[in-house]
Structure 1
Amino acid sequence: MTKPPKPSLPPSPSRPSRIRIGSAPDSWGVWFPDDPRQVPWQRFLDEVSGAGYEWIELGPYGYLPTDPAVLAEETARRGLRVSAGTVFTGLHHGPGVWDRTWAHVAENAALAQAVGAGHLVVIPSFWRDDRTGEVLEERTLTAEQWRDLTGLTERLGREVWERYGLRLVVHPHADTHLDGEESVTRFLDATDPEAVALCLDTGHYAYAGGDSVKLIESYGERIGYLHLKQVDPEVLARVVADEVPFGPAVARGVMCEPPTGVPALEPVLAAAQALDVDLFAIVEQDMYPCEPDVPYPIALRTRRFLRSCGV
């Protein structure tokens, strides 16, 4: 398979960095296609543009319009472009889930392709319910499950590229089988770089004790995408000690506004810039649920902070 080319960075004298900054519905408290506690999609688009972002992700399929013509018109008139779609998968369950997984992936990938995105973010399924904490399966994968996860993810990466021209980037996530250094490096070592890249979410990686700078320096050629996020170390210590599932941990404020948490984003961005590749860095501050007037001021401050970091 030919390695997908990375999009070229539009020339801009005000942006010496090859990192393109964006945000996502997640930073507006959006976790579901439809939820009365979430802001309407029109308000999200208005505010993300007003905060100074030019790139967005699609978020949960069905939150933003799924008609490509409507979505293209609504984003374009606000000066926005789409960087990626997002899907959850459970490929460690083996070939039996392939057809169902592909149907879900295909509708997301088709929309992402139609509006000009170049990436598809893939998040592994949770080993415990992210709201109730109910244990859904073993926390550790068997050797057979690892083979299914890596092999089927490679297949998915090739199919998504060949059919939709999107680069697959796998997103380690709290309360999934891919979270910290041990599982992430094992996954990277076992997968084909031509088929699978990594979406490094700095907050989720820190949540599991990982060092984002070390990962970028060690596996730079596998970093295909970034999510910028921080955790509050005091809240994190309490939720880990109490074995709080991810959803309630977010409600407690475990993911916090930069630059108040960890990891420090300046060295992460410096390490990413040292790779000398075009790279999306999407702000994705988990905030569910949240009051509708909370996200926009945070987005303004976060964009201003990231400019001070040179991006």
Structure 2
Amino acid sequence: MAAAHQPLTTALNRIRVGSAPDSWGVWFPSDTQQTPWRRFLDEVTEAGYEWIELGPYGYLPTDPARLTEETAQRGLKVSAGTVFTALHRGPAVWDATWDHVAQVAALTRAMGARHLVVIPAFWRDDKTAELIESPELTVAQWHELTAGMERLAHQVRDRYGLDIVVHPHADTHIDGEENVTRFLDATDPELVSLCLDTGHYSYCGGDSVKLIETYGERIGYLHLKQVDPVILSDVVKNEIPFGPAVQRGVMCEPPAGVPALEPVLIAAQGLGIDLFAIVEQDMYPCPPDQPFAIAQRTRRYLRGCGA
């Protein structure tokens, strides 16, 4: 008789698992539909995570002393900050972009983190889902995007000692395999790495394991989530924007969706570097009592994968 399948028991000792405000339905610095920040910190701790991201700047306290006190008393550490950029729009947006990045980078460094997750601007409004610019970039805009990202990486590293990791994201210009490959091929690997989000990459038709195996030297950070393939099929068929798709539950907890996370984690472990793997399940908006149980089950699932 064949042996029953057992969860992976070999420890993925290069993978550091955490979670993020996003897994508690947090997309904005302030929103009455979101989980209050103290509740997030209490619940993420109780769910078994010791690493967190800062989330939208202003959601958690921005005073480093206060945030250090709040995280330390719960045994939490910060893995990264997050910024949104629209660098494809060229020099006209640089000063405003840098002002925002500098704020987040300063807090990120003060909290002892070493990474800044950089998300390209949406081509839809993030609340109304209205189309606000073309989903396709011109050649000139691609140049502005890639050159601007390298400039950003230089300054963030020189001034704050942080590494940027660029996050391919649905409804942005860096999304699926074609655009991610184009972006990587046009940027300096010494400056620009990726935050591979398994859910967004699958949402956009990409294969996370293939990306790790092909561009392993460019993977600097992971976001873990899954996509419900049935809901995604309807989203693609009906060209539903990302925000409404999230409200339909397109991003789901493991192991209910795709991609399978165990092969992703094994491939990431095989890179031989220390990597954060931050659970980041898009759920805006969600009932206040929903995130905690999902976070607990997800942490238990990841332990069963060896992480």
Q: TM-score range by the shorter chain?
A: over 0.9
Is 2:83 the counterpart of 1:97? no
Distance between the aligned counterparts of 1:165 and 1:269, measured in 2? 27
Mapped contact 1:131–1:246 kept (Cα < 8 A): no
> How far did 1:130 drift?
3.3
Q: Per-residue displacement from partner, 1:200-250 (whole Å, max 9, x unpaired)?
A: 000000000000000000000000000001000110111111111111110
Mapped contact 1:158–1:195 kept (Cα < 8 A): yes
Amino acid at match of 2:109: Q
Mapped contact 1:179–1:204 kept (Cα < 8 A): yes
2:69 corresponds to which of 57, 68, 73: 73
Unpaired segments ≥5 residues, structure 1: 1-13
Mapped contact 1:118–1:165 kept (Cα < 8 A): yes
**Equivalent position SS for 1:65:** coil
Distance between the aligned counterparts of 2:156 and 2:230, measured in 1? 40
2:23 corresponds to which of 27, 31, 40: 27
**Equivalent position SS for 2:278:** strand
Aligned to 2:134: 138
For residues 232-251 of structure 1, what are the structure 2 equivalents within 5 Å? 232-251=228-247
Is 2:222 the counterpart of 1:226? yes
Aligned to 2:149: 153
> How far did 1:74 drift?
0.5
Aligned to 1:205: 201
Identity score, percent = 74
For residues 98-117 of structure 1, what are the structure 2 equivalents within 5 Å? 98-117=94-113
Amino acid at match of 2:34: Q
Distance between the aligned counterparts of 1:194 and 1:71, measured in 2? 31
Is 2:176 the counterpart of 1:180? yes
Distance between the aligned counterparts of 2:206 and 2:141, measured in 1? 23
Distance between the aligned counterparts of 1:41 and 1:15, measured in 2? 32
TM-score w.r.t. length of structure 1: 0.94
Aligned length: 298
Unpaired segments ≥5 residues, structure 2: 1-9
2:162 corresponds to which of 159, 163, 166: 166
> How far did 1:69 drift?
0.2
TM-score w.r.t. length of structure 2: 0.96
Distance between the aligned counterparts of 1:161 and 1:144, measured in 2? 26
> How far did 1:16 drift?
5.0
